[in-house]
């Protein structure tokens, strides 16, 4: 049987917060921070998602290719704050598939 979903953007995306045991299903295009806020998962921030502070850094455990590529703003932030290759800014990274993320303080 032909897979009718192949190559299409999913209708929903699940964001899993490890090891908290919480998952939030969001519409594609939502930020990781928006998903976290909806299930009361704490993510550090001091700039209200303006992409300045870098406190919202999360490590992507699964589904890195289910995040839209970083914008110029996020790329600058990632360089300025020395993000690792598996890290993204939760306030700027937008999901378009299932992912799992963690931080050092959960």
Angstrom distances, CA of residue 34 to CA of 1, 13, 90, 93, 104 = 36, 12, 8, 10, 19
Site for ligand FES in 44-103 (CB under 6 A): 45, 47, 49, 51-56, 77, 89, 91
Phi (first) and psi of residue 66, to 5 degrees: -100, 15
CB-wise, 45 or 103, nearer to ligand FES?
45
The site map against ligand FES for 2-41 (x = CB under 6 A) is ----------------------------------------
CB-wise, 70 or 97, nearer to ligand FES?
70
**Spatial distance between the Cα atoms of 86 and 40, rounded to a whole number of angstroms:** 23
In the complex, least distance from residue 39 CB atom to ligand FES, rounded to whole angstroms: 17
- For tokens 């299930």, name the residue: 39
In the complex, least distance from residue 97 CB atom to ligand FES, rounded to whole angstroms: 21
Phi (first) and psi of residue 64, to 5 degrees: -55, -35
Q: What is the DSSP letter of 81?
A: T
Q: Which residues bind ligand FES (CB under 6 A)?
A: 45, 47, 49, 51-56, 77, 89, 91
């Amino acid at each position: 049987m032909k897979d009718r979903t192949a190559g299409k953007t999913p209708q929903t995306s699940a964001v899993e917060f490890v090891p908290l045991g919480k998952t939030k299903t969001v519409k594609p295009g939502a930020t990781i921070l928006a998903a976290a806020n909806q299930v009361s998962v704490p993510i550090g921030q001091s700039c209200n998602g303006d992409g300045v502070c870098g406190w919202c850094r999360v490590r992507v455990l699964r589904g890195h290719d289910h995040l839209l590529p970083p914008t110029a703003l996020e790329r600058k932030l990632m360089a300025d704050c020395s993000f690792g290759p598996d890290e993204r800014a939760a306030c700027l990274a937008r999901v378009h598939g299932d992912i799992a993320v963690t931080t050092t303080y959960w």
